[in-house]
Amino acid sequence: KQEVTQIPAALSVPEGENLVLNCSFTDSAIYNLQWFRQDPGKGLTSLLLIQSSQREQTSGRLNASLDKSSGRSTLYIAASQPGDSATYLCAVSAYTGANSKLTFGKGITLSVRP
Amino acid sequence: DTGVSQDPRHKITKRGQNVTFRCDPISEHNRLYWYRQTLGQGPEFLTYFQNEAQLEKSRLLSDRFSAERPKGSFSTLEIQRTEQGDSAMYLCASSGSGGLETQYFGPGTRLLVL
């Protein structure tokens, strides 16, 4: 059974700091990995999707990397801003084209202090 | 296209009552997923549709839960004889058929069972 772990559960940083959020998963036979953002009481917003054959994806100040063999992914946020405060969730999809259901970690709650 | 929509956004009910939630996916997406999220946890997979066919159900989906997707368009999730443990955020997501595609999430329906 796939398990996704995100540590620490919460993180507080001053504005402007570059930071890395970690995600690990137990079964390397994944189809893809997604990073999501969730604001309190809201749904999920997709940030980046990395296919199993890829090593990284970039969007603006965000860069996500994937090391499938070691079961790890990182989300790098450059020059953090108070508006980045949210919960960041990592999710992996099973290695089957028939159903891409996602297995999520519990998330990392990020607070960026002005 | 306005993305995935869910209705209602909030529902308060008494234990033992039946509730029904609706999800309207992005119009060209043929895959639709339901997830459940409790406080401090990541979303957990409940069930999956490809067009109108329900192809997988989680063991989390007890016999009190039923989901439909008539004509492969919108989907409904019904909970019969609600219990306090059903209190959660119910999230719907949709994606295209390639299996490589991002899942787009709706805003969720927050259920509180008193």
Does the distance separating the beta carbons of A97 and B99 come in below 8 Å? yes
B40 burial (CB, 10 Å; 0-12 / 13-18 / 19+) is: exposed
Q: To which H or E segment does residue A74 belong?
A: strand A72-77
| Chain B residues lying within 8 Å of A97, measured CB to CB | 99
User: Is residue A95 over pLDDT 80?
Assistant: no
Using CB atoms, pick whichever of B6, B105, B110 lies closest to residue A44.
B105
pLDDT above 90 coverage of chain A, percent: 80
User: Is residue A38 over pLDDT 80?
Assistant: yes
Contact B52, B112 (CB under 8 A): no
Q: What is the pLDDT of residues A47-62, one digit of tens each?
A: 999 988 899 999 999 9
pLDDT above 70 coverage of chain B, percent: 96
Q: What is the pLDDT of residues A64-75, one digit of tens each?
A: 999 999 999 999
Q: What is the pLDDT of residues B97-110, one digit of tens each?
A: 765 678 899 999 99
Q: What is the mean pLDDT of residues B21-37?
A: 94
User: By the CB < 8 Å criterion, does A41 face chain B?
Assistant: yes
Q: Compute the distance between CA of residue A11 and CA of residue B70 in angstroms, rounded to an integer.
A: 44
Does the distance separating the beta carbons of B107 and A43 come in below 8 Å? yes
Which residue is it, tokens 């090391």? A67
Task: Enumerate residues 6+ apart whose C-beta is below 8 A from A60.
Answer: none
